[in-house]
Amino acid sequence: MAAMEVSDPLGHLNYSTKNEENFHFINAKLESFKETSACEWIQ
């Protein structure tokens, strides 16, 4: 079965490690989740 081409609803999402472009955004987001989510393992 060949996958049919369809518009990708996930095409706008970024998936990457921290880099110069996203560094401050991701750090700020992680800080905001500190008290509500179990994400200490990322720090």
Partner 1 sequence: MIDYNPNSFIFLYDETNLYGACSNDDPQRVDGYVFYFSHNECSFDRLTIEGRPDLSSGRVLRAFNLSRIYNIVRQPFIYCGLILQDASAYNKSMGLFLFKHLGIPLTPNLIKYLEDQSNEPKINEDMLSTFDPDYSNFLFFVMNPEVLEVHHVTPYTVIQYCLPPSKKGGKRKKTKRKKTKRNKNSRN
Binding site for partner 1 (CB under 8 A): 1-3, 6, 8-18, 22, 25-26, 29-30, 33, 37-39, 41-42
| Least distance from partner 1 to the Cβ atom of residue 7, Å | 9
Least distance to partner 1, CB of residue 27, Å: 9
Check if the beta carbon of residue 33 is closer than 8 Å to that of residue 39: yes
Kindly state the tokens that stand for 24.
């401050």
We find the least distance from the C-beta atom of residue 35 to partner 1, in angstroms, to be 12
Residues contacting 22, CB < 8 A, separation 6+: 14, 16
